[in-house]
A and B are shown apart, each in its own frame.
Chain A
Amino acid sequence: GEDVEQSLFLSVREGDSSVINCTYTDSSSTYLYWYKQEPGAGLQLLTYIFSNMDMKQDQRLTVLLNKKDKHLSLRIADTQTGDSAIYFCASPKPGGSYIPTFGRGTSLIVHP
């Protein structure tokens, strides 16, 4: 299987919460990342979490990490139309080197 897996699509109504899920394979990952890609642009780092943390909150963003299940999630509170984008989960490539390995990306569609 792939090193990082994500569901491909999520559709939410403006004002609702969005939850984007990711599973990864390398239990030795020190950091796990969420990147955002807006239409026609490159990826930008949205947030990250250190592997010894269970949760990280940053304004409307909450990252939850379940190390036992190797599951990462990104919650966006009060989702806005400007949040419509592709969200990528990323972890270092298994084997100890630092090479970002990305999931296939989740397309978040926010409708009024």
Chain B
Amino acid sequence: DAGITQSPRYKITETGRQVTLMCHQTWSHSYMFWYRQDLGHGLRLIYYSAAADITDKGEVSDGYVVSRSKTENFPLTLESATRSQTSVYFCASSEWGGAATEAFFGQGTRLTVV
């Protein structure tokens, strides 16, 4: 199916465990992003990638790691989960074309750290 998909949709994990959230897009968009959404904070950028093997930190990157070995995949890893990382995580992709550039979002992963 064409689009951007995230997995899993829901995840409960324990404090201190490593957890990886997956993101896959079928358009071959250059840019990919990870955001977290928290009440009162809106969407905050965790990491982004301009192309395969190029990643950069966003405003809330501490405790997270990303990789992008293939254009279509952009996994996000929480190295040692903390309760403060309980959130809804959104992956997005876009193709920078100079004109109005739309970001396409996945359905989100709701992560609970207990």
Contacts and interface: CB of A to CB of B under 8 A. Distances in A.
- Whether A and B are associated in the same complex: the answer reads yes
Interface of A: 6, 8, 31, 33, 35, 40-45, 48, 50, 88, 90, 93, 98-105
A105 B106 contact: no
What's the dominant secondary structure at chain A's contact region? strand
B42 A31 contact: no
Interface band, chain B = 20 to 34
A105 B105 CA distance: 16
B48 A48 contact: no
B74 interface: no
Interface of B: 31, 33, 35, 40-43, 45, 48, 58, 90, 92, 94, 96, 100-103, 105-108
B43 A98 contact: no
B43 A99 contact: no
B111 to A, nearest CB: 15
A87 B83 CA distance: 27
Nearest to B108: A42
Sorted nearest first, the 9 A-B pairs with minimum C-beta distance are A42-B105, A104-B42, A102-B43, A45-B102, A43-B105, A48-B100, A31-B100, A105-B42, A98-B96
